[in-house]
Amino acid sequence: MKDIRIAAVVCRAPVGELQSNLERTIHWTQQAKAAGAQLVCFPELNITGYCNHVDMAGIALPYPGPISRQISDLSQKSQLIILAGMAEHNPHGLPYASHLVCWPDGQTQIYRKLHLAPNERPFFSAGDTVPLFHLPQAVFGIQLCYDGHFPELSTIMTAKGAQIIFLPHASPRGDAQTKHQSWLRHLPARAYDNGIFVVACNQWGPNGRGLVFPGNAVAFDPAGNLLASRLEDNEGLLIVDLRAADWQNVRSHPMRHFFPNRRPELYA
């Protein structure tokens, strides 16, 4: 792993307001670039907005398609890796909750949410693959909101080589401090158990469809320590340097790096 500066975005994403959501994406990408970030991660479904309603099928976007190409163009112009979320049209059923990965060389990839919350299942389809994404500095995985509650997914990603997991959220209810305390229950465990960085960010503000999001962004190091957090009640960026030395300090210590001592033959 090599050092990398990342930006985690906290922003509004009103449902169906594609143009204004794209404008926010451009704005915060430019701000991330100005802060020296090499990668910018947006909240879950920041392009289409998020709600649990049949309307999501009508809002869902094709991939590849015009919107994904606009995000790809933005990545190429800014020379930032962009992680952005959208409801993705599924020709075989309900839409996916998906997250784009756009690269400065014009390539795009996608992650489809694997674990749907009970109130999401009537409106979304679940993905069925666990992709990883390879930076020059590190290997990372993506999990979306409810995915983060399943330790096996982080274990699988780590076994496949992940050094960072990004967790974009569209998680409403409560204020920023309450949401922060909720995240402190499980996100540090994903980092600590697997010896990886974990970065999460959330939507902020009303979505125009009855949900209000409290914002928040956090980053944890591979020892499960809180590196940085953002609890302000507004839109903004969390800029964090993920340092190779922090990763190496855990991975090189026989009593801190638990992963090599797993016994998967017992877990079948």
What pLDDT, in 10s, does the model give residues 151-176?
999 999 999 999 999 999 999 988 99
Distance CA 28, CA 161 (A): 29
Burial of 107: CB neighbours in 10 Å, binned 0-12, 13-18, 19+:
exposed
- Domain count of the chain? 1
> At 64, which CATH number?
3.60.110.10
For 79: left if phi > 0, alpha if psi spans -120 to 50, otherwise beta; the answer is left
Residue 106 inside a domain? The answer is yes
Residue 264 inside a domain? The answer is no
**Residue in 28, 66, 33, 69 with CA at minimum distance from that of residue 46:** 28
Residue 60 inside a domain? The answer is yes
Residue 268 inside a domain? The answer is no
The pLDDT of residue 254 is 87
For residues 103 and 75, the answer to whether their CB atoms sit within 8 Å is: yes
The pLDDT of residue 268 is 79
Residue 29 inside a domain? The answer is yes
Domain hosting 249: range is 4-256
Query: How does pLDDT run across 23-80, given as a tens digit for each residue?
Result: 999 999 999 999 999 999 999 999 999 999 999 999 999 999 999 999 999 999 999 9
> How far from 193 is each of 37, 165, 168, CA to CA, in Å?
27, 13, 20
Residue 262 inside a domain? The answer is no
Residue 46 inside a domain? The answer is yes
Residue 266 inside a domain? The answer is no
